[in-house]
């Protein structure tokens, strides 16, 4: 086996396209997962059974079925009902939705971890419900779950190649297409492997720095 630097050079333009798509999917997917997870977590705590029960069923269902199946469902089955999205949008929704069911659990643990005395202090001050959540409970809950949320961003990065299967050519998709055309798999696959480390490691350092800043 020969390492061919010219193959690396040839792969570069497509590689950068792939990096861009991976980062787009990661950032947008994370935003959806963070926001939607919080919505799930709050809805599951609702005293209205008609709210909490369906949310529990849906999130359990999503969490316990494979991401790949969900991506295929979104991309190949939804068009049967005339709902069509581009591959990237489908990938972002799929990643975000799937991971929102994990972040929901993270938020739930964070909220449960806020000492009961904080709730009692809010009652003693007659703070309204929304104010209690907004200024006391959630700031404390989210602060303590930032590290766990960060871990899911990195997990999502590592799951992002799955969106290549529906045609969103992120890094792995570009590498496979390149190697299929040139019969040179070694260089592109190696390059993207290194690229994953180069994205994931600084991301985890960033998370750790954030964690230090947030913990007083």
Partner 1 sequence: MSTDSSTSKETKNPTVDGSELIEFKDVTKRFGSNVVLDNLCFDVSSGKHVTLIGPSGSGKTTILRLLMTLVKPEEGTIKVAGEYLTHETKNGKLVPAGEKHSREVRKNIGMVFQQFNLFPNMKVLRNITEAPVHVLGLSGDEAEQRARELLELVGLTEHIDKYPSQLSGGQQQRVAIARALAMRPQVLLLDEVTSALDPELVAGVLDVLRDIAHTTDITMLCVTHEMNFARDISDDVLMFDAGRVIESGPPEKIFSDPEHERTREFLSAVL
Positions that interact with partner 1 (CB under 8 A): 115, 117-118, 120-121, 123-128, 131, 135-136, 139-140, 143, 216
User: Tokens 């190949």 appear where?
Assistant: 76
What's the min distance (Å) between Cβ of 210 and partner 1?
Answer: 16
SS3 content of the chain, % helix, strand, coil (to 5): 85, 0, 15
Distance, CA of 5 to CA of 50 (rounded, Å): 61
Of residues 67 and 137, the one with the C-beta less far from partner 1 = 137
What's the min distance (Å) between Cβ of 149 and partner 1?
Answer: 17
What's the min distance (Å) between Cβ of 142 and partner 1?
Answer: 10
Of residues 140 and 151, the one with the C-beta less far from partner 1 = 140
What's the min distance (Å) between Cβ of 119 and partner 1?
Answer: 9
What's the min distance (Å) between Cβ of 156 and partner 1?
Answer: 27
Cα→Cα distances 108→105, 122, 143, 161, 172, Å: 5, 19, 13, 28, 34
Of residues 45 and 63, the one with the C-beta less far from partner 1 = 45
Distance, CA of 6 to CA of 190 (rounded, Å): 14
Q: Which residues of 17-30 are buried (b: 16+ CB within 10 A; e: fewer)?
A: ebbebbebbbebbb
* Length reported for the chain: 216
In 148-207, the DSSP E strands lie at: none
User: Tokens 């230090």 appear where?
Assistant: 212
What's the min distance (Å) between Cβ of 122 and partner 1?
Answer: 9
Measuring CA to CA, which residue among 157, 147, 156 is closest to residue 199? 157
Of residues 51 and 136, the one with the C-beta less far from partner 1 = 136
Query: Residue 138: in which H helix or E strand, if any?
Result: helix 138-159
Of residues 8 and 136, the one with the C-beta less far from partner 1 = 136
Of residues 26 and 38, the one with the C-beta less far from partner 1 = 38
């Amino acid at each position: 086996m020969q390492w061919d630097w010219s193959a690396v050079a040839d792969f570069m333009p497509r590689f950068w396209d792939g990096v861009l798509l991976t980062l787009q999917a990661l950032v947008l997917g994370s935003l959806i997962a963070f926001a939607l997870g919080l919505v799930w977590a709050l809805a599951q705590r609702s005293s209205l059974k008609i709210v909490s029960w369906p949310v529990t069923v849906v999130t359990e269902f999503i969490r316990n079925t494979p991401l790949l199946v969900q991506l295929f469902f979104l991309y190949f089955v939804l068009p049967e009902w005339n709902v069509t999205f581009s591959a990237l949008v489908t990938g972002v929704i799929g990643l975000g939705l799937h991971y929102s069911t994990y972040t929901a659990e993270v938020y739930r643990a964070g909220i449960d971890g806020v000492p009961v005395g904080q709730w009692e202090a809010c009652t003693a001050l007659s703070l309204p419900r929304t104010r209690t959540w907004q200024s006391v409970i959630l700031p404390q809950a989210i602060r303590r779950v930032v590290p766990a949320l960060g871990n899911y961003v990195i997990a999502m990065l590592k799951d992002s190649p799955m969106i290549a299967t529906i045609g969103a050519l992120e890094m792995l998709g570009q590498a496979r297409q390149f190697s299929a055309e040139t019969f040179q798999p070694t260089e592109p696959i190696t390059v993207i492997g290194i690229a994953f480390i180069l994205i994931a490691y600084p991301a985890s350092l960033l998370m750790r720095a954030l964690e230090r800043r947030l913990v007083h």
